[in-house]
Amino acid sequence: MPNGELELDPVDYITVGTVGPKGKRQFHLQAGKGAQIVSLIMEKEQTRALSEALRDLLDTLLETSTEQIEPEVNLSRWDMSLRDPIEPLFRVAQMGLGYDETRDLVVVVAHELISTDEEQDDNPVEPQVVRFWGTREQMRALSAHARQVVKQGRADPKSNGHLINYWT
């Protein structure tokens, strides 16, 4: 990856999914272009925040648009499953969104989480950056699907994946 940056412009697909059992799920943001598949590890709250931020951005764009674009997306038309191989490039530290008005594309920007070891202080590591460019419709589908994935968690989040015994 030159200069620690990777750009899929535009993506063929973009999705969010999980790997592992409830309580120990690992969230993945994944996109692909042609034969290239890029998977990133995210936290559940990052997934929720991405969904909400995309929805807010797309709603704002819809309000200012002269085109007739549907505010809701029919997820049954989209294949939102993760594709194999699921080999994460990195864990996401922070994310950002943008919009290119001339191309009418939305970008999701993800920055790598760098662990700070005392030994690495002499040679600081630059975080990798990935940019996924997609249509408003693709990003609307990502937002809706991410909301569903986050909601599929434990019925009682307080259990946090641990067995709870109840006595009466």
**Phi, psi for residue 114 in degrees, rounded to 5:** -105, 125
Tally of structural domains, the chain: 1
Q: What is the number of other CB atoms lying within 10 angstroms of the CB of residue 105?
A: 18
> Which is nearest to 136 in space by CA: 57, 39, 33?
57
Residue 166 lies in a domain: no
Burial of 70 (C-beta count, 10 Å sphere; 0-12/13-18/19+): exposed
- Which residue range forms the structural domain that includes residue 120? 2-159
| CATH label of the domain that carries residue 155 | 3.30.2450
pLDDT single digits (tens) 76-123 = 888 999 999 999 999 999 999 999 999 999 999 999 999 876 445 567
Tokens at 147, concatenated: 């909301």
Tokens at 79, concatenated: 């294949």
Residue 168 lies in a domain: no
Confidence label for 62 from pLDDT (cuts 50, 70 and 90) = confident
Residue 98 lies in a domain: yes
Tokens at 22, concatenated: 């409830």
Residue 59 lies in a domain: yes
| Signed CA dihedral, 3, 106, 18, 156: sign only | positive
Burial of 139 (C-beta count, 10 Å sphere; 0-12/13-18/19+): buried
Q: Which residues contact 166 (CB under 8 A, 6 or more apart)?
A: none
pTM (2 decimals)? 0.83
pLDDT single digits (tens) 112-159 = 999 876 445 567 788 999 999 999 999 999 999 999 999 986 555 555
